[in-house]
Amino acid sequence: MRLGIVYHMPFWRGPDGTLREPEGSFARYVDSLAPYFDEISLCVPVLDSPAGEGSAIRSTNVSLAPMPFFDGPLQFYRRLARVLPRLVRWERRIDLLHCRVPSPAAAFAFAIGRLLNRPAFNLVVGDLRALLPSMPYRGIKRALWRAYTEFEERNIQWMADHALTFANGAALTAKHTRGGRSVVETITTTISERDVATRDDTCGHRPLRVMSVSRIDPRKGLRMLPQAVRILTDAGHDVTLDIVGPVVGSPGREEQGAIVAEAQRLGIADRIRLPGAVPLDRLLPMYAEYDLFVLPTLPGEGVPRVLLESMSAGLPIVTTRVSGIPSLVTHESNGLLVDRASPEAIADAIARIIRDGDLRRTLIANGYATARTYTLEAQAARMAATVSTQLHVALRQPAPLPVG
């Protein structure tokens, strides 16, 4: 059984021959599915040169079906005439199609797959329509982005209406469930069983180290964090903040500049760092160096995978009650949810965790339990079983993990 996956995450081939992608979350996802298939073929944009260190796909049964590189929808549609023949040739060689959306090429691949009678399944990981209010565009750019969003949303719903579809979190599941066809809820993750830590408490040293992991762009709410740090320091809490993640396009560069400028204006520039992107293999051990995790994201998320990563490392988390997050985070059980993202609300939640040791240890313990429920191994097994049953395809059974 040869699985073909179409997505927009760029790849390149490292000097050692490994396939690498910038962030690592998609690479881990592919690795988790690889044991169930004879081969996985990735139809993705390919870079001519490395984009940093990147994260490698470790499975040996994964290959590339290169698309011309594109960095966003505009570049993709400029290359559409070159992409379509490649999609047709690629889909003639696969047995099962998997579309991860939103992604510009997905609807075209799905339409070709229907013409070729290829069984298919989808995974919806984000909500473009919910992101519209936080997009920084104005004038004609905003109108064009709104039109593209509606076009892509219609495509995603059409795909969900005509094929087995998984969605990341309860909000996306409800959004795309229509009529007699149900969407299957899942939680996308990057953590393996071996990634779950054992420490039972944090906040034992000073300064307290707060961590946020996110792409730097206006949709993540990161601009409010310097003010939250200022409020905490004024209240006597000795805290620092690291915002780890890549800058995304010109809006991301503007957001990064605004965060730095705000920290300088508030006199806390020495307490805030933006170290940039860190490959996942190096990022996961980094979580253990911190005391708390914060993600003040705005609507548009499925379920951010960084929440499970921080839970698995024993970090109590503060995040917002938006989109799919409440399907993973239960307030005062495995995290604190802020109803409306603001510097004051974020600071109050962080201060509560710092002061209340019993609450902090409860959040950590329940976070571990949540992380163990949503490992890559568990997610892939559930997805493979559903695909096999509903699409009537025979998949491989992975070898059992060694005991001990």
pLDDT tens by residue, 223-233: 999 999 999 99
Instruction: Establish if 122 belongs to a structural domain.
Output: yes
Between 249 and 143, the higher pLDDT residue: 143
Question: According to the model, what pLDDT value does residue 400 have?
Answer: 59
Examine the domain organization and report whether 368 and 379 are in the same domain.
no
**Number of separate domains in the chain:** 2
Whether 117 and 233 map to the same domain: the answer is no
* Residues 238 and 356 occupy one common structural domain: yes
Confidence of residue 132 (pLDDT cuts 50, 70, 90): confident
Amino acid (one-letter) located at 164: L
Q: pTM of the prediction? A: 0.86
Is-contact 41 5, C-beta < 8 A? yes
- Residues 346 and 283 reside in one and the same domain: yes
User: Quick check: is 399 in a domain?
Assistant: no
If asked whether residues 137 and 241 sit together in one domain, one would say: no
Residues 140 and 234 in one domain: no
Radius of gyration over every alpha carbon of the chain, rounded to an integer in angstroms = 21
Range of the domain at 41: 2-189+375-391
Mean pLDDT of the chain: 93
Q: Are residues 217 and 174 in the same domain?
A: no
Model confidence at 248, in pLDDT bands (50, 70, 90)?
confident
The percentage of the chain sitting over the pLDDT mark of 90, rounded to a whole number, equals 77
d(CA 71, CA 60) in angstroms, rounded, equals: 27
Distance CA 77, CA 110 (A): 16
Sequence length of the chain is 404
Model pLDDT, residue 344: 97
Q: Say if residue 129 is in the same domain as residue 200.
A: no
Q: Which helix (H) or strand (E) holds 251?
A: helix 249-265
Domain containing 287 — which CATH number?
A: 3.40.50.2000
Q: What is the mean pLDDT of residues 163-187?
A: 91
Give yes or no: residues 62 and 171 share one domain.
Answer: yes
* Of 49-58, 271-280, 314-323, the least confident: 49-58
Say what the pLDDT of residue 402 is.
Answer: 44
> According to the model, what pLDDT value does residue 404 have?
37
pLDDT at position 403 is: 38
- Residue-wise pLDDT tens digits, 275-302: 998 989 899 999 999 999 999 998 866 7
124 and 205 share a domain?
Answer: no
- Judge whether 106 lies within some domain: yes
